[in-house]
Amino acid sequence: MVRELSHYVAGRRIGGTSGRYSDVFDPCEGKVQARVPLASREEVQNAVAAAEKAQPEWGAMNPQRRGRILLKFVDLVNQNLDELATLLSSEHGKTLADSKGDIQRGIEVVEFAAGAPHLMKGEFSEAGRDIDVHSLRQPLGVVAGITPFNFPAMIPLWKSGPALAAGNAFILKPSERDPSVPLRLAELYSEAGVPDGVFNVINGDKEAVDALLEDPRVKAIGFVGSTPIAQYIYATAAARGKRAQCFGGAKNHMVIMPDADLDMAADALIGAGYGSAGERCMAISVAVPVGEETANMLVAKLQDRIKGLKVGHSLAKDSDFGPVVAPSAKDRIEGYIRSGVEEGATLLADGRGLTVEGYDDGFWLGPTLFDHVTKDMKIYQEEIFGPVLSVLRATDYDEALRLCSEHEFGNGVAIFTRDGDAARDFASRVEVGMVGINVPIPVPIAYYTFGGWKASGFGDLNQHGADAFRFYTKTKTVTTRWPSGIRQGASFVMPEGS
């Protein structure tokens, strides 16, 4: 039976009125399991109106009290973790353990955001005998988040936690591919005590996105997705005077130095390249071994490990990874594999044609490994977003550093080495936003910021950490004078600090 999903506005689920719907698949079964309504412009405007009405009271609340509500929300998420993870896996296809990790990394940011009283403190100075200057951080008002399918819990929580803690009302436009977890999170926010209208979920496509961009009541928009859409949202938001932080595609490299522990490096590549079927913006998709001997030994270890990988149902405990999210995703990834073969890369493991017993119609792709990839190949230049790992051999350290730095994407990168000098030099010089040293997926912890460079990120402020509070607040500076009874008359000179 196909379920009918909804929006969540002003504290309750409401059905769609546009008459337009999108299919939500069960990736393991290959069947439609739900229909999600796609909001009209009017439906988006109604959600914005609900948020605008609710925000002033929420913004005026003591930030410590808002923090308590967020901590109660974290408790509710933990109490419902198994339900949320199962729901997430059923629509996305990632394994149950991976889904729990998705949720956990999200609530860590909410926990950090509960420290809003400290994070929103301003500054104070005595500027003279009778003049004081202080600053205030105040909420923007109504803000929005447009989030991707690959992390349907983590990214909505990264966006909404700091925004709510700072006193804003929030409108979430999640991916229409797996919207059930965001809707359930909305219910848990309400149960925790977030007032009706402060957190809303509007499902939709470009029409909903454009409605958010065009509505003057929406003061800021955060986005995670592909680079072309990130550029569009950033440019459109900026032209309309909105704040925007937009994160796009990635092509994450991992450099393997000759002195590296190759077993450790191979294990890291297998997990970072094929985990979640490669549908992560921080997945390692390019291995860069330095020197032919290093490359040959590494490739042999990768081939040996690939043979033991288990692709299976997302709820099976022995599955290393599950299916990709939709038939269109499978078709696109298979197209990249064909391109790699046609352009001359050596295909060592081919994930096409995989079937899982009992689930013949699922969107399955096995681990794919290319060797002898070159910079001019499409599989190197573009983000594949699937279980495809490319090996591009570098002759020396300097060539490996250039490869990572010169690619148009600059999201994440890693180096595996025992040499502290090489690691320090690499971290300092590489033109990438997040760096791992013997860490394959360098996603920062919640109190540091997450963000890529170049075509991977648009905007001056990153996600979570202190940057999130800078993004979701505006600074007001107040200069105060309490005269001691001495009248000085009118002055027509620009005031000076002295």
Rounded distance between C-alpha atoms, residue 217 and residue 432, angstroms: 35
464, 162 in Cβ contact below 8 A?
A: yes
Rounded distance between C-alpha atoms, residue 219 and residue 205, angstroms: 20
Report which DSSP code applies to 248. -
Rounded distance between C-alpha atoms, residue 144 and residue 160, angstroms: 8
How many Cα atoms are found within 13 Å in the side-chain-facing hemisphere of 256?
28
Instruction: Give the three-state DSSP class for 100.
Output: helix
List, as one string, the DSSP characters of 402-438: HHHHHSSEESEEEEE-S-HHHHHHHHHH---SEEEES
93, 322 in Cβ contact below 8 A?
A: yes
The encoded tokens of residue 140 equal: 């923007």
Task: List the one residue out of 146, 361, 127 whose CA is nearest residue 234.
Answer: 146
310, 318 in Cβ contact below 8 A?
A: yes
Rounded distance between C-alpha atoms, residue 96 and residue 322, angstroms: 10
345, 373 in Cβ contact below 8 A?
A: yes
471, 247 in Cβ contact below 8 A?
A: no
Rounded distance between C-alpha atoms, residue 172 and residue 6, angstroms: 13
Task: List the one residue out of 172, 163, 114, 173 whose CA is nearest residue 139.
Answer: 163
Report which DSSP code applies to 406. H
Distance of alpha carbon 277 from the chain centroid: 16
DSSP H helical segments within 356-419, as ranges?
378-381, 397-406
The 10 Å CB-count burial string (b at 16+, else e) for 85-107 is: bebbbbbbbbbbebbbbbbbbbb
Please enumerate in sequence order all residues whose Cβ is within 8 A of that of 300, keeping only pairs 6 or more positions apart, or say none.
none
Instruction: Give the three-state DSSP class for 367.
Output: coil
List, as one string, the DSSP characters of 141-180: SEEEEE--SS-TTHHHHHHHHHHHHTT-EEEEE--TTS-H
The secondary element (H helix, E strand) that includes residue 62 is none
Q: Which residue has the tokens 């999201």?
A: 411
135, 123 in Cβ contact below 8 A?
A: yes
281 catalytically annotated = yes
| Identity of the residue numbered 370 | F
366, 311 in Cβ contact below 8 A?
A: yes
Query: Of 28, 246, 281, 404, which one is the catalytic site residue?
Result: 281
Catalytic sites, residue numbers: 281
